[in-house]
Amino acid sequence: MQILKATERDADERDLIEAAQRNPSCFTGLYEANFDRVYAFVARRVPNREEAEDVTAEVFHQALVGLAGFEWRGTRFAAWLIGIASHLIARRWQRAAGHVEVPPEELESIAVSDQTERQALLAQLVDRLPEDQRHVIRSRFVDQRSIREIAQELGRSEGAIKQLQFRAIESLRNQIRSRHA
Amino acid sequence: MLNHEIEQLDAAIRSLITGSTPHLSRENPQLLSMVDLASQLRLMPRPDFRMRLRDELLAQASLPPARRRAFNSNIALPTRAYLKSPTTHDSVLPPLFSTSPSMLPVRGSHLALSFALHVAALAVVFTSGWWMVQNRALVRTQIASRWSGTVDYILPAARGETHGGGGGGTHDKLPASRGSAPRFSEEQLTPPAVVPNESPKLPAEPTVVGPPEVLLPQLGQTGDPIAAILNPPSNGTGSGGGIGSGEGGGVGVGFGPGVGDGRGGGIGGGVFRVGGGVSAPRPVFDPDPEYSEEARKAKYQGSVMLWAIIDAEGHPRNLRIARSLGMGLDEKATEAVSRWRFEPALKDGRPVAVQISIEVVFRLY
């Protein structure tokens, strides 16, 4: 099993966990810090966006319920969430396959990976794109709208929208490369 | 070259969105890496999902621990169903082999209230049904009758006798409809009408000519008090304005601006009529009429109008059918009214015979 690359200091995360255990309303801090990671992990293992959102929501709801029992043992909180997600996904697989047991090694293989981190980073980078590029990316990939529809909405030519799309993806690729470097 | 790459990238993205495999040359690794990135972008969550889930978690966190656990299965799933595409029904409809009795939140108090209301409604239905069965005979024969105050131009006592009458109509196809005659006035500016003129050149209250101190009963819709039909509204087949089959801007079958049989305004004479110094007789014994077997079987309902003279002893005499209902009910009405007893009408403190109309209503409950 690989270890998640830390994006925040352990101490900060521990403080967040303890605060959330004292006051569950503080759980939103942990949620914001880990949402992209959990969603990225789930999205790569379920067939569509709706199911990814469903599983992600269930992970956080279960985490909130079980937070009181969480003990800090040096393991990152994200790993605990990913563990919940793994079990939920495995249960779905079993249900879909007619209650066939999923081998432990299969569950092991769906643990944390660089790919998940990369996907989580990508979601964060999209949020930081310039307004027009972000709008094009979300319209194109989330809403699955055509270039023509987006052009009509923004009052620009189709060529301009394609160019914005290209620049946005190019920018995302360059930023991911620089982070990895 | 850049334009070519832009077009190639867009074509690849189109393929990704439609679910087909994009065809790309491996000679351009830069473009390949961008397409790979685009395939990951397809998995991005909807922007509002993150915020909605955050709100859900805040709502869940605000609950006591016991209910927080139940939140997962009862509230969160239906809420999340709103985020889903309408084509996915698995969160809207419970799965076939679901172990949960319901996917909707159920509160104990609401369930108890609903149960109590259903039990109460069933109790009412069964009790009323049981009562109907036990009292079948009573239900069958239960009728209502009432002595009608809409007697033929029933009037309070006044100083002098009233005579004359009037009639009218506007050449309508239908006979005049039933209602109250307008009030008496010394002179008439506007004749009465069931169907009034919507935009009169000189708006004035419709009246009939007669002694103003005589107050005719006002029951709502204007019309002929002894007409048989209530609807549709009609001014009647007469002429000269007014209501009825007569002529001259009054109400009824006479001639002139008065009411009833007669001429020249006012109200008709002959036997004493109520009003103009003659008080109305008052029923003191008025048993209900029976329903005829034929009418009850046919569930026939309606009213019979009788003309009668109430003599100085308070006995009904000379009963006549003014408006027939049929199916044996006219006879039943006559038979019943003939047994009625009245406190006689008074003129100058002495009992006198008067002619009145009595409406007997037959209704099955």
What is the percentage of chain A residues whose pLDDT exceeds 70? 82
The pLDDT-based confidence of B121 (bands split at 50, 70, 90) is: very high
- Which residues of chain B from 72 to 131 reach within 8 Å of chain A, CB to CB? 72, 76, 80, 83-85, 88, 91
Q: How far is CA A71 from the centre of its chain?
A: 23
Chain B CB contacts of A44 under 8 Å are: 43
Chain A CB contacts of B85 under 8 Å are: 50
Quick check: A65 and B88 CB within 8 A? no
Quick check: B37 and A123 CB within 8 A? no
Pick from B46, B241, B71, B267: nearest CA to A58:
B71
Q: What is the pLDDT of residue B138?
A: 61
The pLDDT-based confidence of B145 (bands split at 50, 70, 90) is: very low
Q: Which of B34, B46, B58 sits opposite A169 (nearest CB)?
A: B34
For residue B141, is pLDDT > 60? no
Least confident of A28-32, A159-163, B348-352: B348-352
pLDDT tens-digit map of B15-44 = 887 777 777 766 777 888 888 888 888 888
Q: Which of A58, A60, A170 sits opposite B34 (nearest CB)?
A: A170
Quick check: A53 and B83 CB within 8 A? yes
pLDDT tens-digit map of B230-274 = 777 888 888 888 888 888 788 887 777 788 776 666 675 445 667
Mutate one of A169, A174, A180 to test the B interface: name it (highest B CB count within 10 A).
A169
The pLDDT-based confidence of B119 (bands split at 50, 70, 90) is: very high
The pLDDT-based confidence of B143 (bands split at 50, 70, 90) is: very low
Q: What is the pLDDT of residue A6?
A: 47
pLDDT tens-digit map of B78-118 = 344 444 444 444 444 555 554 545 545 566 788 889 999 99
For residue A175, is pLDDT > 50? yes
Quick check: A57 and B53 CB within 8 A? yes
Q: What is the pLDDT of residue B136?
A: 67
Instruction: Give the residue extent of every domain in chain A.
Output: 2-111, 129-181
Most confident of A130-139, B192-201, B219-228, B348-357: A130-139
**For chain A, what's the residue count?**
181
Mapping DSSP onto H, E and C, the string for chain A reads CCCCCCCCCHHHHHHHHHHHHHCHHHHHHHHHHHHHHHHHHHHCCCCCHHHHHHHHHHHHHHHHHHHHHCCCCCCCHHHHHHHHHHHHHHHHHHHHCCCCCCCHHHHHHCCCCHHHHHHHHHHHHHHCCCHHHHHHHHHHHHCCCCHHHHHHHHCCCHHHHHHHHHHHHHHHHHHHHHHHC
- Higher-confidence residue of A155 and B31: namely A155
CATH match for A129-181 among 3.40.228.10, 1.10.10.10, 3.40.50.1260, 3.40.50.2020: 1.10.10.10
CA distance A28 to chain B (A): 7
Q: Which of B10, B47, B68 sits opposite A165 (nearest CB)?
A: B10
Quick check: A137 and B41 CB within 8 A? yes
Mean pLDDT, rounded, for A138-166: 89
The pLDDT-based confidence of A168 (bands split at 50, 70, 90) is: very high
Pick from B331, B303, B328, B306: nearest CA to B319:
B306
- For residue B288, give every residue at least 6 positions away whose Cβ sits within 8 Å of its Cβ, in sequence order, or none: B143, B144, B145, B336
Pick from B215, B321, B228, B230: nearest CA to B267:
B215
Q: What is the pLDDT of residue B151?
A: 40
Q: What is the pLDDT of residue B158?
A: 44
Mutate one of B8, B32, B34, B41 to test the A interface: name it (highest A CB count within 10 A).
B41
The chain-wide mean pLDDT, for chain B, equals 75
The pLDDT-based confidence of B177 (bands split at 50, 70, 90) is: confident
**Amino acid identity of B143?**
I
Mean pLDDT, rounded, for A58-84: 82
Is residue B70 less than 8 Å (CB to CB) from chain A? no
Most confident of A4-18, B89-103, B147-161, B169-183: B169-183
Quick check: B43 and A119 CB within 8 A? yes
- Higher-confidence residue of B250 and B71: namely B250
Q: Give the Cα-Cα-Cα angle A166, A170, A175 (nearest 5 degrees).
A: 150
Mean pLDDT, rounded, for A114-125: 80
Q: Which of A39, A60, A144 sits opposite B57 (nearest CB)?
A: A60
Chain B CB contacts of A32 under 8 Å are: 54
The chain-wide mean pLDDT, for chain A, equals 80
The pLDDT-based confidence of B150 (bands split at 50, 70, 90) is: very low
Question: Would A2-111 and A129-181 be classified into the same CATH topology?
Answer: no
Quick check: A163 and B6 CB within 8 A? yes
Least confident of A145-154, B35-44, B71-80, B344-353: B71-80
Least confident of A60-74, B102-116, B184-198, B346-360: B102-116
Quick check: B33 and A173 CB within 8 A? yes
Chain B CB contacts of A57 under 8 Å are: 53, 56, 76, 80
Quick check: B9 and A165 CB within 8 A? yes
Chain B CB contacts of A62 under 8 Å are: 72
Chain A CB contacts of B9 under 8 Å are: 162, 165-166, 169
Chain A CB contacts of B84 under 8 Å are: 50, 53-54
Q: What is the pLDDT of residue B235?
A: 85
Quick check: A27 and B57 CB within 8 A? yes
CA distance B108 to chain A (A): 22
Is residue B182 exposed (0-12), middle (13-18) or buried (19+ Cβ within 10 Å)? buried
Q: What is the pLDDT of residue B77?
A: 43
Mutate one of B36, B43, B53 to test the A interface: name it (highest A CB count within 10 A).
B43
For residue A131, is pLDDT > 70? yes
Mean pLDDT, rounded, for A171-176: 89
pLDDT tens-digit map of B202-218 = 778 888 877 666 667 66
Mutate one of A21, A46, A141, A177 to test the B interface: name it (highest B CB count within 10 A).
A141
Q: Is the confidence metric ipTM above 0.95 for this complex?
A: no
A2-111 CATH: 1.10.1740.10
Task: Count residue pairs from A and B with Cβ separation < 8 A.
Answer: 122
CA distance B91 to B152: 72
